Structure 1
Amino acid sequence: MRLHRSSNLGIVADSNVPNERRAFMLTLTENAATAVKTIIAQLPDADQGGVRIRDTGSQETGFELAVASSPENGDQVVEDHGARVFLDDGANTALDDRVLDAEMNQDGSVRFAIASQS
């Protein structure tokens, strides 16, 4: 399967490849990418940093988001709009057809949300 970079979807599978299914992966809105880059810019040695999303395995808690200086072994790295998100195996599987969005409040706090890709 050939991969190409799309400014809107990060890295996606080329849908023109015969007899292969299109692969989906988590994408970021511009707001989410801006929020991630703003958060990571506050880290020393931020050039390899991102946010890491971990599947907690619980319906009640869902996912855990944390700032990370680099991906952990086995993490899927999603780069979109210049922002990096690291996904553990569970999060990568659960979020493969989702969009990460963010709302930045005037007090500097950020609220992330996950929605279906349209």
Structure 2
Amino acid sequence: MLTLTENASTVVKGIAEQIPEANGLRITAGDTQPPSFDVAPAANAEPGDAVVEQEGATVYLDGGAADVLDDKVLDASVDQEGRVEFALAPQD
């Protein structure tokens, strides 16, 4: 299952706190190769979503994203302009 770094957990919680109707982020996989991902604030899981809860952060993964990200670690950072960047790495 996807895991989150401490930075990613902090960023996900921060985004959810800034958007009143959001409880976390939802990651969906595109149909491209290699896969691309869309990340958006979400209030709840959609039917069939996997739910990752870690350090108070919630991430919903659609079926395609859950399959591709099963052995990955999600990291996040915020640049000086406030833009969020996500990065994936293999789990150890």
**TM-score between the two structures when normalised by the length of structure 1:** 0.73
Per-residue deviation, 1:106: 2.4
43, 62, 81: which one aligns with 2:19? 43
1:109 Cα deviation from its structure 2 partner: 1.2
Identity of aligned residues (%): 53
- For 1:98, the equivalent position in structure 2 comes to 72
Q: TM-score, normalised by structure 2?
A: 0.92
The answer as to 2:26 corresponding to 1:26 is no
| Cα root mean square deviation, aligned | 1.3
CA drift at 1:114: 0.9
- Kindly provide the amino acid, as one letter, of the partner of residue 49 in structure 2: D
Offset at residue 98 of structure 1 (A): 0.3
1:115 Cα offset (Å): 0.8
What letter matches 2:5 in structure 1?
Answer: T
- With a CA cutoff of 8 Å and minimum separation of 6, indicate the structure with the bigger relative contact order: 2
Per the TM alignment, residue 60 of structure 1 is displaced from its structure 2 partner at its CA by 5.7
Where does structure 1 differ by over 3 angstroms across 4 or more consecutive aligned residues?
Answer: none
Task: Pick one of 46, 51, 55 that aligns with 1:77.
Answer: 51
Give unmatched runs, 5+ long, in structure 1.
1-24
Gaps of 5+ in 2: none
